Amino acid sequence: MGNSPSTLPPASQPGSALQLCLNDVFAASAGDVAYPQDVFYQLANVKVYNQHIPITPAAVTRPTTSAEVAAVVQCAVASAVKVQARSGGHSYGNYGIGGEDNAVVVDMVNFQQFTMDNSTWQATIGSGTLLADVTTRLHNAGGRAIAHGTCPQVGIGGHATIGGLGPVSRQWGAALDHILEAEVVLANGTIARASATENTDILFAIKGAAASFGIVTEFVVKTHPEPPSILRYSYTLELGKHADMASTFATWQSIVADPALDRKLATEVVVFELGMIISGTYFGTREEYEALNFEQRLAQNATVSVVVLNDWLGAVGNWAETEALKLVGGISGAFYSKSLTFKPDTLIPANGIQDLFNYFDTADKGTLIWFAIFDVEGGAVNDVPQDATAYAHRDALFYMQTYAVRLGTLSNATTAFVTGMSDIITDAMPGVDFGAYAGYVDPQLTDGPMEYWGTNLPRLQKIKAAIDPGDVFHNPQSVSPVA
């Protein structure tokens, strides 16, 4: 980082064709552009989220209109430079800034448009809008909501085009299942509308793999009335051996594997240095929650908290207070993350669970900030056919997301610890094809595209060949064009 002009690639040099072209685009614009030679470029413009993967883009642009986005893409193509959009800058692999050096970043921060059609309750949302603002604007426009994740600093442009899973997804589906229409800037510099009746292949691709196909400038989404009754619960085990908590996790897994599990129940397990927390949201009354007998079925001494929340905004704000998000949230640092997908017929066997929880006690971690998070999905997410959108894991019951964080340099011991968590599970389940969630970027995957998009990858490759044969929208694990 801090490259001098003499060491930069040709397109990043002062006075290059790329810089002259971009300067012309923004000469009379409210947007702007920054280059590696600018003071505080990395800190103020690049803003790397995962400091384990340092990146120096050829330029960071902040357009204000779709036409300017198209012009930026045309400048990059003319200089043979790759392009990636950033809607929040919160990618585990820094893919919002290309995932590698010398790409042009299109920061969508200025795309904050919002309208609500009160006859259809369809909302138009700019792709630079952070989830916290999406929630507030929908609420203020008539008490409406969509399904999305729990981190308020994430931008909807990336979130809703990877999957967008969250506590209410078991009832409403993923965030991408709410997309009815989108405006997309393509690799040839044209602006297209994609919907169920227009550019249907593009709509298919952006609902799960948009970073490989174009830059979404706005979404039209269906919305729901905010849930009328919300309850937040937690079941905390602390200051004991992780090995002794394995049986409680096994019980949790058996509960969530029930096909009749109430879709109003969202639940996750977070294992961390001090213990384990089973928590979540129930979208119903306290009486309905108590009728599930959920805590009693876990059958181990724990600190139990059940809170009835007064409103939807309070519930969404409460989600950001999980142990993991309180520690990492929107703060940049050096970290490594992996994920595994589990289906109803690929549950973790008893020996795998015990081995994993023994590992939590005995492994050399290299850090005190680490998590293994198990998030239940299923429900409405599973109702959508596998080939209806690019999102590939329609049969997922829950995900395991593991990561470890350090301020400064990530040690080999820490990355090995994260890898080891996945290895213990895969060793206990030979022959299982797990797959990974594209939102939990793992640069070390042998074949990321296949892990992320599975059986949908061949169709995505053909669409890529048709609309981006030059692979303009590229990152290290993006879809490649195949004729």
**Fold observed for domain 5-107:** 3.30.43
Q: What is the pLDDT of residues 304-360, one digit of tens each?
A: 888 888 788 888 877 766 545 554 555 677 888 999 999 999 999 999 999 999 999
In this prediction, residue 324 carries a pLDDT of: 53
Please, what is the average pLDDT of the chain?
92
Q: How confident is the model at residue 276 (pLDDT cuts 50, 70, 90)?
A: very high
Cα distance between residue 341 and residue 396, in whole Å: 6
Q: Answer yes or no: are the C-beta atoms of 221 and 123 closer than 8 Å.
A: yes
Domain boundaries, the chain: 5-107, 114-226+455-467, 230-453
**Fold observed for domain 114-226+455-467:** 3.30.465
In this prediction, residue 1 carries a pLDDT of: 43
Choose the weakest-confidence range: 52-56, 170-174, 252-256, 417-421. Answer: 52-56
Where on the phi/psi map is residue 470: left (φ > 0), alpha (ψ -120 to 50), or beta? alpha
> What are the C-alpha distances in Å from 188 to residues 19, 435, 466?
19, 32, 11
In this prediction, residue 53 carries a pLDDT of: 84
Backbone angles phi, psi at 220, to 5 degrees: -110, 120
How does DSSP assign 66-89, residue by residue?
A: HHHHHHHHHHHHHTT--EEEESSS
**Fold observed for domain 230-453:** Vanillyl-alcohol Oxidase; Chain A, domain 3 (3.40.462)
Mean pLDDT of 444-451: 94
Nearest CA to 416 out of 345, 358, 349, 366 is that of 366
